[in-house]
Structure 1
Amino acid sequence: MANIVLKVLAFCLLLDICLFYGVMVALRTLWTIIRHPVRSFKIKPRNTPPACLDDNSLGSHAYLRTKTLKLHYVSNGDRSKPLMLFLHGFPEFWYSWRHQLRAFADDYRVVALDMRGYGDSDKPKGIGAYALDNLTSDVRDAIPALGHSSCVLVAHDWGGAVAWRFAHDYPDLVDKLIIMNSPHLKRFEEVISTSMKQFKKSWYMFFFQLPYLPEFICRMADYAWIKAAFCKPPMGVRSEGAMTDDDIEAFKYNFQQEGVATATINYYRAAMRYPPAREPKHPVITSPTLLIWGEEDQALCIELTEGMDKYVQDVTVKRVPDASHWVQQDKPQEVNQIMREFLKGN
């Protein structure tokens, strides 16, 4: 009985937090609409992909089938070479790895997935479809579907959350693990439960639990929030020219596709409503692991990079000064060099 009471109280507290942020965002949105009624509802038609998405130097487009759905990917390099598999974050898609697709194609078969719900990949209905167990199953099935038995797994943001869990459950499939600005899930739980700073930074995770309103706001003013997130302070990239107008158009084009807004926000909804049904198969990650962290991340505290030894047997942490949350796009040369040094190690 005590456990039931605690669960009810926790649910009520979570609901109150979500409603609080919902009211705050709704009031701010209403004020924006009053001030700029025309601009707030203007959306540019995007019927064809921007030319940058068909750049042959990035690789070729293809699809694979898992047990349950079809995933789109872009592949570069010789198919006979070891697989380097990239998992993107929110609100991104395969294009987030454009710099790495070029940089590592000589030594690896580099493959950047559109994760379920993104880009040209399938977008299953329902919040439960985006539970972490389903996301890790996609990666498990993708590796043999690509014709490989294991991979160097590289991931950022939400892709990192999937990769951490995947490395716990399927160590034989991960030769090396490279994570960028994505905390280990257990470490995130520790920090958000004790740090008011991280709790405040995570406000959007609670706001995204609400129905309809997040999708509506995402579409406002021609997806203006995407440019703000990638380009403007405090969240945007720090390097001049790191994100071009064409790049922003590519991200807007992706997010404007039918079903993408709801599917991608469902990642956050599922995280709170459908946690993993069991503990990881292996309590400690044994694959050699590199954590790259842009120090100016405004969504995640730097403390999340500490205390990793409890969860990862062999971890190297590299911080990139004056780099944003979008570290692999913000400082691609520095990130690629850190990756090369790690990959050359024994």
Structure 2
Amino acid sequence: MSNFVVTLIRFGVTYGLASLMGFWVLVGSVILVCRKGPRWFFSKKVRETRPACMQDSNLGSHGFLRAQDVRLHYVAAGSCSKPLMLFLHGFPECWYSWRHQLKEFKKDYRVVALDMRGYGESEVVRGVQNYEMKKLVGDVKEVIAALGYSSCVLVAHDWGGAVAWTFAMDYPDLVDKLICMNIPHPHRFVKHISSSWKQMIKSWYMLYFQLPALPEYLMSSGDYSTIKNAFHGKKMGLRNRENMTDDDIEAFKFAISQPGCLTAAVNYYRAAVRYPSKLRHDPQVTSPTLLVWGDEDGAFDNDVLVGHDKFVKDFTLKKVRGASHWVQQDAPEEVNEIMREFLG
């Protein structure tokens, strides 16, 4: 069978399933309009200035740097004479998801929490191809150098974790230690989702996000109500809701509502399907690695954890009982303690 035919079949299956999922999301949206009214559904607040919680000087100072073809925003604290601890956030978040860790580790590290490309106050680059993995990995490499370091402790969650795993494989000399949270090794995830219906169902949104425009439009409805549902909802929400206040949610709404940011965030998923990374012959991570896992994750099946020691030379797994996908925000004290123990 020719490559053209394979591509055509893959395209048809992908967008056929995406359209089916889009139909059901539309049905749900119509039900919401009937329940809450058109005024609620079409409401959208303009957010031009950072909320007060994002201006907290205890979290650090705001800065910008240039990496490849994009201007990136970050928040940094701690002495520049200390080792670098670089934080990468997930979807649909921003640098602020690391607020608890910035406060905790700034005494011992130069802590830097990045707004990844297209998120928050970082520059939005047009085009799905600008969000493929090699671009995201390249950003991390240039950020480390731009900050004046030759390596770092790399800490990441969700999509940031997918980038961090890949970065540690590509540039092992730049990663002193790797800490990932609720994101499996990419090879382990690919093998797991190809054989687990449970994981396929949990990952339905990855196909839905392949549709043009519709995901962004519906996610922004009800003044970005999807953001609040992600953190406070029954399926995905934090178990310790007091750790995600209305002010915190407003911070994430501010980040995702900046012009073009929502499309950029969804483009991470579009690029992953359109420009998939090739599976490696040797997917080993040689840096000492800690995987922190909230075991009430609504996005990942816990069975995906099996077999990680095959991909990591020096591997530590720590489960946080009862914590959600947003583990570093759901149980910050426990996560910080686990990190300190691992870092020695």
- What's the offset of the Cα at 1:48? 1.8
Which secondary structure does the structure 1 equivalent of 2:247 belong to? Answer: helix
Task: Name the Cα RMSD after superposition.
Answer: 1.3
Q: How many pairs are equivalent? A: 343
The letter for the 2-side match of 1:335 is V
Q: Deviations over 1:24-72 (max 9, x none)?
A: 1112212222332111111223222110011000001111111322111
- Unaligned segments of structure 2, at least 5 residues: none
Give the Cα separation in 1 of the matches to 2:47 and 2:7.
Answer: 45
Match for residue 62 of structure 2?
61
Give the Cα separation in 1 of the matches to 2:158 and 2:215.
Answer: 19
Q: Deviations over 1:307-328 (max 9, x none)?
A: 1122111110111001000000
Q: Deviations over 1:104-149 (max 9, x none)?
A: 0111000000000001111100000000010000001110100000
Match for residue 75 of structure 1?
76
Alignment check: 8 A CA contact 1:168 1:280 kept = no
Please say if 1:100 is aligned against 2:71. no
Give the Cα separation in 1 of the matches to 2:125 and 2:295.
Answer: 35
Q: Which moved more, 1:186-195 or 1:169-178?
A: 186-195
Give the Cα separation in 1 of the matches to 2:161 and 2:281.
Answer: 18
Please say if 1:155 is aligned against 2:156. yes
- What's the offset of the Cα at 1:259? 0.5
Which secondary structure does the structure 1 equivalent of 2:242 belong to? Answer: coil
Match for residue 209 of structure 1?
210
- What's the offset of the Cα at 1:283? 2.8
Match for residue 325 of structure 2?
325
Alignment check: 8 A CA contact 1:85 1:153 kept = yes
Give the Cα separation in 2 of the matches to 1:147 and 1:281.
Answer: 33
Which secondary structure does the structure 2 equivalent of 1:61 belong to? Answer: strand
The letter for the 2-side match of 1:103 is E
Alignment of 1:208-287 (within 5 A): 208-276=209-277, 278=278, 280=280, 283-287=283-287
Match for residue 177 of structure 1?
178
Which secondary structure does the structure 2 equivalent of 1:303 belong to? Answer: helix
Match for residue 335 of structure 2?
335
Give the Cα separation in 2 of the matches to 1:281 and 1:248.
Answer: 41
The letter for the 2-side match of 1:295 is D
Alignment check: 8 A CA contact 1:169 1:280 kept = no
- What's the offset of the Cα at 1:246? 0.5
Give the Cα separation in 2 of the matches to 1:232 and 1:6.
Answer: 39
Match for residue 165 of structure 1?
166
The letter for the 2-side match of 1:76 is A
Give the Cα separation in 1 of the matches to 2:165 and 2:312.
Answer: 10
Alignment check: 8 A CA contact 1:167 1:177 kept = yes
- What's the offset of the Cα at 1:260? 0.4
Give the Cα separation in 2 of the matches to 1:61 and 1:5.
Answer: 50
Alignment check: 8 A CA contact 1:169 1:281 kept = no
The letter for the 2-side match of 1:181 is N
